[in-house]
Structure 1
Amino acid sequence: MIETRKGINHIALVCRDMKETVDFYTGVLGMPLIKTVELPDGGQHFFFDCGGGSSVAFFWWKDAPAMAPGIASVKDFPYDAKTAVGSMNHLAFHMDEADLEASLDKLEAAGVPHTHAVVNHDDSQMGVAKDMHEGVFVRSVYFTDPNGIMMEFAAFTKDFTPEDVRHEPARMDA
């Protein structure tokens, strides 16, 4: 077995404008730019420190394929959040629960599209609850970056136990 429990080194995404992306990740999200690379094909690859030894990296190419909402990215969260097999649905950053409310104000002040309330995820049929209760396992704020990538600030509210794993994995052919 390969040891993979040291965390994520980085996730690599694609942006439409590197300057706009640098301004957003450094200025709005406060992630230091830690490495830049000029690629031999004229592109760029930049890395941002997102804490805990992990990075968010972006590729940029002048001739990159166009955005594909509803295929490669979320089209309209929470109403149409499905994305294609092999795509990235969203990227969640750990945040302390006490900081979630303040993040809403900061996103609003920066003009970033976002949910206008903290979302309480639970095991109900809808998967969310209006109010905090003992069944809420994660609280979230969702927003999009300048590239249309859905992001999340997430705070787990409980430690998981074996009882939290109770669903059989679905099969395409079933």
Structure 2
Amino acid sequence: MRWSHIGLNCRDQKLTEEFYTRWFGFTRARAVPIPDGEIVFLRSGDAYLELFPVGAEEGTPGQGDGPATPGAVRHLAFQTDDVDAFLAGLGDEAEVTLGPLSFDDFICGWRTVWIRDPDGAIVEISQGYTDQEADPAQASVR
């Protein structure tokens, strides 16, 4: 098991991305399209942030991957080599809130499940995530 990222909910995703890139040295590692925009992965060394666009409404429920409240941590995330083996090891202690889901449309072999910890926090467990290859045209923009 390896640390992966923290998912953050953003009222203004572009402003949040600019804040973390300007002041903390993060760069865009990947963007994944979703119906309401995109999910942006930022990277600084081995640290990742996953930025979710959310509205300004407080207390908005998530969809199994954590609460969608602006300014709140959506979930903690870890990487494993085998999501199914990890779940089997948890046995009855695994309260799955979403998944397992396959994201092969974006990265071949990317699979994820979300579980609830004993205090109710959502924990994402993934296998197969990789950064997007750098686009030389975007390098000068960021």
Return the TM-score normalized by structure 1.
0.38
- Which structure is richer in relative contact order (CA contacts within 8 A, separation 6 or more)? 2
